[in-house]
């Protein structure tokens, strides 16, 4: 029941006009503030392709993600019957013809004495490592995702079998992966690279990779967005400094974690 205290008071035309005018002014002031803020951002010096305040936000997000990261936190896995072929998305690093029969994976690191060291591996070397299959979600930073069935070797198993240490036997903190033509490149912190679901992948949906999906070898990391899942790996570099990343220099988050 409505009492005199809670009975809605009729709103007259003058009140409506006052409220509308107030709302319009508030919206206008907010828009001007946003415009002013954007103009201010647009005049800031760039840091890796975007205004430096935005880059600082991405770096803070990276630090938070790294703080919460754990190898015990696994991406969800799905029944294999749910797997589908993902769309072909992005051709950077795939445009140059490649003879997969003669392909070699080049790995650059450091010997225990601190001197540069380079090794080359065939696809047979990768396949000699313990085979791992998983069905996980490939998430694109554009917003779409597809459940995909993968097969390959854990990156951690590759590092354990073929160690390329840093000075005094210390593990280097970063990994760079580059296509043979060096047109696409991603950077990983070592903890993410050694996550148990990070694979050097050579099969998808039970079949060898096709050229458009990264044959003969690609990276799969379901704890990262698809932009980190580099296709057609040519070189892996273990290094002490954070590597450049194709999309990070174009304004995206370097860490790109999920």
Q: pLDDT: is 218 or 51 the higher one?
A: 218
Same domain, 101 and 38: no
Please report whether residue 9 resides in a domain. Answer: no
The strand pair at 235-239 and 105-110 is best described as parallel
- Structural domain count of the chain: 2
CB environment 168-180: b (16+ within 10 A), e (fewer) = eeeebebbbbbbb
Q: What is the spatial distance between Cα 196 and Cα 155, in angstroms, rounded to a whole number?
A: 8
Read off the tokens for 171. 């593990």
Least confident piece of the model among 7-16, 144-153, 199-208: 7-16
Q: What is the pLDDT of residues 158-186, one digit of tens each?
A: 999 887 766 666 788 999 999 999 999 99
Least confident piece of the model among 54-63, 90-99, 184-193: 54-63
Whether 232 contacts 200, CB under 8 Å: no
The confidence band for 230, taking pLDDT boundaries of 50, 70 and 90, is: very high
Please report whether residue 67 resides in a domain. Answer: yes
Same domain, 25 and 73: no
* Structural domain range at position 189: 48-250
Q: Bridge-partner residues for 149, per DSSP?
A: 135
Distances (CA, A) of 114 to 18, 111, 187: 74, 5, 21
Q: What is the pLDDT of residues 71-102, one digit of tens each?
A: 788 999 999 999 999 999 989 999 999 999 99
Same domain, 139 and 233: yes
- At residue 14, the pLDDT reads 47
Q: What is the spatial distance between Cα 144 and Cα 172, in angstroms, rounded to a whole number?
A: 34
Same domain, 236 and 131: yes
Q: What is the pLDDT of residues 94-136, one digit of tens each?
A: 999 999 999 999 999 887 777 888 999 999 999 999 999 999 9
Please report whether residue 53 resides in a domain. Answer: yes
Q: What is the spatial distance between Cα 240 and Cα 227, in angstroms, rounded to a whole number?
A: 22
Q: What is the CATH number of the domain that holds 201?
A: 3.90.420.10
Same domain, 99 and 68: yes
Count of beta carbons in the 10 Å neighbourhood of residue 47: 14
Same domain, 220 and 95: yes
């Amino acid at each position: 029941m409505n009492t005199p205290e809670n009975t809605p008071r009729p709103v007259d035309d003058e009140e409506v006009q006052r409220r509308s005018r107030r709302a319009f002014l508030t919206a206008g002031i907010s828009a001007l503030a946003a415009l002013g803020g954007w103009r201010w951002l647009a005049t800031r010096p760039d840091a890796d392709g975007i205004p430096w305040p935005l880059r600082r936000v991405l770096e803070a997000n990276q630090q938070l993600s790294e703080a919460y990261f754990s190898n015990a936190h696994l991406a969800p896995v799905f029944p294999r019957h749910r797997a589908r072929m993902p769309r072909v998305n992005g051709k950077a690093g795939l445009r140059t013809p490649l003879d997969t029969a003669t392909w070699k994976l080049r790995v650059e690191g450091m010997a225990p004495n601190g001197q540069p060291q380079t090794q080359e591996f065939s696809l047979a070397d990768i396949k000699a490592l313990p085979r791992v299959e998983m069905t996980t979600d490939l998430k694109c930073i554009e917003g779409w995702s597809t459940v995909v069935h993968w097969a390959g070797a854990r990156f951690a198993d590759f590092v354990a079998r073929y160690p390329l240490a840093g000075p005094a036997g210390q593990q280097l903190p970063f990994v760079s992966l580059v296509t043979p033509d060096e047109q696409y490149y991603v950077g990983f912190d070592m903890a993410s690279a050694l996550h148990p679901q990070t694979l050097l992948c050579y099969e998808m949906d039970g079949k060898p990779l096709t050229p458009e999906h990264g044959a003969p070898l690609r990276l799969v990391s379901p704890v990262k967005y698809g932009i980190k899942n580099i296709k057609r790996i040519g070189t892996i570099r273990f290094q002490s400094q954070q590597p450049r990343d194709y999309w990070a220099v174009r304004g995206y988050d370097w860490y790109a974690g999920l």
